[in-house]
Structure 1
């Protein structure tokens, strides 16, 4: 049976993660990029790729299928012994939308994908809001106070988004900028699990744009979307 795009995304994210665990603390970014690029060339040779670790191939702008990947999300955390908040992102954009994706948390030996979305755990009594441990939004505390919530600093974007999927947090709030590869796979996986994902002001997230920069991101339980925006 032919492997679906979702199955491929999960297999590649998991395989890249296992490789990163084996070579840690080596040159993870390069090793992961080489592995993912080779796998996509073998299994989806006609698709375009947008990666953090490779030059931007502008042919993607006229392609109907573009893999948006971050071979190692959270290089800083990966380099710190004992940290688990780093990830691997593999997402497929097709004709204007994200259609398949997976996020691996290799240090936890877990992969979350759009093919097999997880059921959301119960919310916390006081909403837990995941934020960057190095670049928290200036307004984060004000937002947390408005919902009587608690800020939870974490590492990579994928780890923060999957914290919401896993029920460790109820929302992930980011401002100050990121790139498409930072959020594409986490957003697709979060949406498959029933979570809300948008710009902080509620505007839609758009991918495979000429400039892959995204100013901000909100991923949260649907009941919090109107309150946090």
Structure 2
């Protein structure tokens, strides 16, 4: 039988683990002389080892789904599943940029109820234990997209709405940039997985932002197929116009 935990405690744990993992990754990057893909692989390994061991010790009865571990399909029979990305934005991390993140989320019956996104290079953790207050909208409509693969649907939305596309690294960094008031929306199409969005989505929802698939469907996690190809995160006042533009 699974041990019962208070979701408030789970949220604090997610925040603490994300922060600690971020500190470890910063230290690993500072202490090594390797660069490029080997540095990214080191970051992935450091984050995975810390988070997986921590969750195994502190939440032994919960399932864990991670980008950096073999998928155990026994998770499909569990109500509580931690979904983690030990290093979201491996390329950005290896290039010394600041737009990478650590994701720690807890989904209960498919719903992302707890989440923490650490932005270690900015010394920030945004989480559901103390959801961020929605800031004022920035000047000029800005839509965040992948800096390497901006989707055509986002280009179309920017044209329809009179906005501009802004490229940025990890999915967590982009979602948190919307939550922090640096942009109005984040539009993604073309391929992600559950670990790319679970924690950022939990934080954005807790802060009052609109989150959905491109067709307006809610984000549902702990699925047999963990591929989640599209995502929209935006300020609530933009929802109707943006969703019409991406339809």
TM, length-normalised to structure 1: 0.96
RMSD value, Cα: 1.2
Question: Is 2:111 the partner of 1:97?
Answer: yes
Could you say what secondary structure the match of 1:159 adopts? Answer: helix
2:81 matches 1:66 = yes
- 1:39 and 2:68 are equivalent in the alignment: no
Within the candidate set 9, 15, 21, 2:20 is matched to 15
- Shift of residue 139, structure 1, vs aligned partner: 2.4
Aligned with 1:214: secondary structure?
Answer: coil
Q: CA deviation at 1:134?
A: 0.5
Report how far residue 148 of structure 1 moved: 1.3
Structure with more strand by fraction? 1
Tell me whether 1:75 sits opposite 2:80 in the alignment: no
Q: Deviations over 1:61-114 (max 9, x none)?
A: 001110000000000000002x10000000001123111110000000100000
Contact 2:21–2:50 under 8 Å retained in 1: yes
Q: TM-score, normalised by structure 2?
A: 0.90
Q: What pairs with 1:1-229 in structure 2 (closer than 5 Å)? A: 4-24=9-29, 26=39, 27-81=42-96, 83-229=97-243
Q: Which runs of 4+ in 1 moved over 4 A?
A: none
Q: What displacement does 1:135 show?
A: 0.8
Deviates further, 177-186 or 122-131: 122-131
For 1:17 and 1:198, the matched residues in 2 are separated by 27
**Greater alpha carbon shift after TM alignment, 207-216 vs 92-101:** 92-101
TM superposition shift of 1:21: 0.3
Cα distance in 1, alignment partners of residues 242 and 116 from structure 2:
26
Q: Aligned to 1:4, what secondary structure does the other structure show?
A: helix
Residue 3 of structure 2: aligned partner:
none
How far apart, CA to CA, are the structure 1 residues paired with 2:10 and 2:25?
22
Q: How many residues align?
A: 227
CA displacement at 1:120 relative to structure 2 = 1.3
Q: Distance in 2 between matches of 1:54 and 1:227?
A: 39
**Structure 1 runs not aligned, ≥5 long:** none
How far off its partner does 1:146 sit?
Answer: 1.3
- CA apart distance, 1:203: 1.1
